[in-house]
Amino acid sequence: MTTPLTITGRYDRHMRRALQLAAQTYCSPNPQVGCVIVKDSKVIGEGFHKGPGTPHAEPTALARAGTHAKGATLIVTLEPCDHQGRTPPCTSAIIAAGISKLVYGTADPTHGGAERLRKAGILVERALPTGCDTFLASWLKYATTSAPWVVLKAATSLDGNIAEAKGMRTTISCPEALEHSKKQRNSFDAILVGANTVRVDDPELASERGITRVILGCDIPPDAKVLRDSNALAYCKHTDAAHVSALQQHGAKLVAIDPHDIHAVLADLASRGIARLLVEGGADIYESFLAADAIDELRLYVSPRLLPGGVRAFNKEPGFRLIESRRLGTDTFMRMRRSE
């Protein structure tokens, strides 16, 4: 029988620091993890995971603590792994270093090692909620369901519209919001738009990481900017053979899946290692994903502008709960997650 965990809030400050460390890099499909080691009320080691195949947060922090780690407390955002993959189990490093207490934020549903550490004589405690579960929500979903975490991003006017008229390109966001939106792409594996958005806006969907660009539908011009290299997927069930050839010559990879079958598209993306997906539009795509109940999080950039009679972003309120709100220039940025 597993010994009940002590729930502690003593290390909130250090756990917040561990979360800051975890956020320094994007390491999909692995979880972002941060670690802090404390002894005699002093931080003696810190670390975070930089990506697949690199040392995990705990061994990195232990290496920096050196021999001082013996008898110390290790605080980590995610329960240490007890699994041999491309790197050794973190539990082995923790035991070998002589750590006396472990405090972790989120339980690992895949290869958690708290029980092994407890059997090795280490005091194991679970931290009070400090944001770890929220921070790791996307990884938890992918790890337990093999489905990507889906974020819908929209820039709207104050009256909830995304364009002055259907088929008309409309810039709504202020420069600060546009820059923030572009940087957000770096924390995703893929970005998705509909064919209509490609035809009207001809977006590059650029990012610093060169993420996969996904188009629902193949009715797009072969010279579209989104097809500038081979890192583009287009989903379409039926299309003209000559058009298919033209798209492929420009680098597109065509997938014979109905673009209206959102769950089939998501399953295919997951099979390609896409753990986090950013949906950028347009209105028909928003409605398709919401109707399929496939959205985990909304990110809205709301301008003070009014666009009376414009194209609605959503036909009805999505019903998500607000988790973050802040100003970006003249606009307001809001993050919302589905209500449980």
Note if the bond before 282 is cis, omega within 30 degrees: yes
- Predicted TM-score (pTM) of the model is 0.91
Q: Above 60 in pLDDT, residue 4?
A: no
pLDDT at 242 (0 to 100):
86
- 76 vs 1 pLDDT, higher one: 76
Contacts of 148 (CB under 8 A, 6+ apart): 141, 142, 189, 190, 266, 269, 270, 274, 275, 276, 277
Residue 33 CB coordination number (10 Å): 33
CATH code matching the domain that covers 6-142, chosen among 3.40.50.1000, 3.40.30.10, 1.20.1260.10, 3.40.140.10 = 3.40.140.10
pLDDT at 318 (0 to 100):
81
pLDDT at 324 (0 to 100):
95
- The sheet that has 331-338: what strands, in order across it? 252-255, 232-235, 212-216, 190-194, 276-281, 149-156, 297-302, 331-338, 320-328
Q: Above 50 in pLDDT, residue 251?
A: yes
DSSP code per residue over 12-50: HHHHHHHHHHHTT---TTSPP-EEEEEETTEEEEEEE--
Structure tokens at 204: 């590059």
pLDDT at 8 (0 to 100):
66
Residue range 47-85, pLDDT digits in tens: 999 998 899 999 999 999 999 999 999 999 999 999 888
Contact 193, 215 (CB under 8 A): yes
How far separated are the first and last CA of the chain, in Å rounded?
A: 31
User: Regarding beta strands 34-39 and 42-48, do their DSSP bridges make them parallel or antiparallel, or are they unpaired?
Assistant: antiparallel
pLDDT > 90: percent of the chain = 79
User: 274 phi and psi, to 5 degrees?
Assistant: -85, 110
**Average pLDDT of 284-302?**
96
Residue 1: pLDDT band by 50, 70, 90 thresholds?
very low
Burial string for 198-215 (b: 16+ CB within 10 Å, else e) reads bebbebebebeeebbbbb
Rounded distance between C-alpha atoms, residue 21 and residue 19, angstroms: 5
pLDDT at 340 (0 to 100):
63
Residue with the two structure tokens 């609605």: 312
Residue 184: pLDDT band by 50, 70, 90 thresholds?
very high
Q: Above 50 in pLDDT, residue 2?
A: no
What is the CATH architecture of 147-338? 3-Layer(aba) Sandwich (3.40)
Annotated catalytic, 176?
A: no
Q: Above 70 in pLDDT, residue 200?
A: yes
Annotated catalytic residue within 58, 79, 125, 280: 58
pLDDT at 5 (0 to 100):
58
> What is the rounded radius of gyration, in angstroms, for the C-alpha atoms of the chain?
23
Q: Above 50 in pLDDT, residue 3?
A: no
- Chain CA centroid to CA 73, Å: 29
pLDDT at 6 (0 to 100):
60
**Average pLDDT of 14-37?**
96
- Helix axis angle for 57-65 and 12-22, nearest 10°, is 110
| DSSP state at residue 98 | T
Burial level of 287, CB count in 10 A (0-12/13-18/19+)? middle
Q: What are the domain boundaries of the chain? A: 6-142, 147-338
- 281 vs 188 pLDDT, higher one: 188
Q: Above 90 in pLDDT, residue 339?
A: no
User: 193 phi and psi, to 5 degrees?
Assistant: -140, 165
pLDDT at 333 (0 to 100):
98
Residue range 138-179, pLDDT digits in tens: 999 999 999 999 999 999 999 999 999 988 888 999 999 999
Structure tokens at 224: 């579209």
Residue with the two structure tokens 């990506």: 51
Contact 2, 116 (CB under 8 A): no
Residue with the two structure tokens 């802090």: 36
